[in-house]
Structure 1
């Protein structure tokens, strides 16, 4: 009888221990961003694609910030999050636009002499040439701000530049020829909430 009770006690302890482990693995369904993390690094660590992390967290760009919580599993209700996401885009009546002004815009690539292709916020533009990123003067537009640039589209303020002072921006264009074609122009920029 003592052996049976001992076996039952061991079995209960194993059950309690393994259920605690399941809670630990469930906690791994959310990642808290640390300094130096990138979406690629997180995707490799947790065996999840960058595309899924962006989709499951409604990210428009790969810009992430320390202490940000990222979902690593598919959310139960995707439909409701997409409808609320659409309402945050600026519309013709300017809903969601915090500020609007004119800037002088030039273009840059990730392949200039001496360029690493990595932005001030850690985005690797050589590995992610489809990102829409602008370089800004952080005293005018804070890094990480979502924007809409006339003639360029929705982007993230993810970089700075030594010549970017005041109401000037640089739009990232992956192709050198197209960057030259952009030239210098005055455009309207909308700061989004």
Structure 2
């Protein structure tokens, strides 16, 4: 169901270990250095540091949001550097306080749960246009690829999706990554990639699902 004819261009240029994200209008002495953890994303950092997500994203147009990893040095705006340091220290030592049990019995920590309207799409050419069967970043579509409105669920966010009823998806729920977009996917909507023919995938229809934003 995804219409990707207005899809944006592919982003690239992964960060190099030790590189810094520089934010406009700030001098070096006004910024704070933060060492990323494996679970960090731009969205999580914006929430923890009380910094607008769009400011981080717009300031780093060549940064791949799927490639923030442990040990990476990030530069955080320093308007309130003392406060940010306290927030970062607290975030680094904070323990998960919310968890969801998966169908396999694994426990996943999450920061937020959303009630979302979901549709599904296949790798069929008519659903993917001239870009072919790839996501927003040029990666091949696979089970676990989800198209989102990045203003609601930022790219790179890990998700646990449950509450659907469809034989083409794992029973009970599955872990996914927000790595695709589409002009028809706006607001509290997601489009789930499902392997199979367009006819088979269309049987998914429109369903209400729960989406857990994972830590």
Give the TM-score normalised by structure 2: 0.46
Q: Does 2:161 align with 1:149?
A: yes
User: In the alignment, which residue of structure 2 is the partner of 1:91?
Assistant: 101
Runs of 4 or more consecutive aligned structure 1 residues displaced over 3 Å after TM superposition = 63-69
The structure with the greater share of residues assigned to helix is 1
State the partner residue of 2:214. 192
Aligned: 1:132 with 2:144: yes
Choose the corresponding residue for 1:109, options 111, 122, 141: 122
Counterpart contact for 2:66–2:155, Cα < 8 Å: no
How far residue 133 of structure 1 moved from its aligned partner, in angstroms, is 0.9
**Is the 1:35–1:65 Cα contact (8 Å) retained in structure 2?**
no
Distance 1:68 1:98, change over 3 A: closer
1:157 Cα deviation from its structure 2 partner: 0.5
Q: Which structure would you say has the larger Rg?
A: 1
Partner of 2:199: 177
The answer to whether the 8 A contact 1:135-1:157 is kept is yes
- Segments of 5+ residues of structure 1 without an aligned counterpart are 1-33, 37-56, 58-62, 70-87
Q: 1:189, 1:67 → 2: CA distance?
A: 22
Partner SS, residue 144 of structure 1? coil
TM-score normalised per structure 1: 0.50
Deviation per residue, 1:115-174 (Å, 9 max, x gap): 51111122112xxx4x31110000000111110111351111010010000000000012
Between Structure 1 and Structure 2, how many residues are aligned?
Answer: 115
RMSD (Å), alpha carbons: 3.2
